[in-house]
Amino acid sequence: MCRRQLASWAEGRTLTGVRVIDEAVVRHKVSTRPSDKLEGGGGVLEGWVGCTAGAPIRHGKRLGWSFDDNGLLIHLGMTGRWVRRPASDPHPKSTRIGLVFGDEVLWMIDTRRFACVVPIPLGELDQAVRRGHGPDALLEPMGGSQLAAAFQTKRPIKVVLMEQKRIAGLGNIHAAEACFRARIWPKRPANALSSGDWDRLAQGIVTQLQTSVDDIDVGKESVYVSEGGENPFSVYRRAGRPCPDCGVVVVAEELAGRTTYWCPGCQPS
């Protein structure tokens, strides 16, 4: 979603300004810690004024964006997103940085300050986007047997689906929804899944991600469900409500520090 929006809004346009609201958003490496800020990072980005924005790339939950010979590595953390506003408008609440393109500004908003941007040489951008990550869950889909080989652990399947080193691109929402599509109890040990479970999960992952991408209107500003946006999901944030498929009440439980949702009827333990 974010890659498509940035491409639609700015690809081929000239960067005319940089507005740094929170200097800690510019970091010397991909990190969720503001303490890893790049000293003078705002000045580095301001030096890119006059450069042309290229086509953004994505791998998993990371983005890469070229500005002539410069590369910008972007990680949105849990709550980061980009919005577009007229340059004459005040910056939105929780804004960290803004990239100005003529009469418009693309603002990165992040309430929790986990998101960051990292300036790197353009030649390192593609490798940096992929570093430490497994195959992209949508662009490089894994079959059932590949998933089984990558997830030989006793830990709950929903938890390990979010480990980017195994498969890149699944967060809390999509991991829960993929388990629902595959009819797999999210607390089930990964090494207890059958070959049929893995095949359904492989398809469920791709279907979940592709459906989410297809439903996106790049011209419309996205708002996370947690921030009051529309909820298009089957089980996520629907605890206490009937399952859309079987009518059994959806439940929620904290699993490895994240709230996990499932339907006891469709996903029995």
Q: Per the CATH hierarchy, to which homologous superfamily does domain 2-130 belong?
A: MutM-like, N-terminal (3.20.190.10)
**130: how many CB neighbours lie within 10 A of its CB?**
17
CATH topology of domain 144-262: Helicase, Ruva Protein; domain 3 (1.10.8)
- AA identity, residue 250: V
Residue by residue, pLDDT tens for the chain (269 residues) are 799 999 999 999 999 999 999 999 999 999 999 999 999 999 999 999 999 999 999 999 999 999 999 999 999 998 999 999 999 999 999 999 999 999 999 999 999 999 999 999 999 999 999 999 999 999 999 999 999 999 999 999 999 999 999 999 999 999 999 999 999 999 999 999 999 999 999 999 999 999 998 876 656 666 666 666 678 999 999 999 999 999 999 999 999 999 999 999 999 99
Exposed / middle / buried, residue 79 (Cβ in 10 Å: 0-12, 13-18, 19+): middle
Q: pTM of the entire structure?
A: 0.90
Where does the chain show beta strands of DSSP type E? Answer: 17-20, 57-59, 62-67, 70-75, 81-86, 95-101, 104-109, 116-121, 251-255, 258-262
Ranges of each domain in the chain: 2-130, 144-262
Longest dimension (CA), the chain: 57
Residue 166's pLDDT is 97
**Which residues are registered as beta bridge partners of 249?**
242
pLDDT tens for each residue of 159-214 = 999 999 999 999 999 999 999 999 999 999 999 999 999 999 999 999 999 999 88
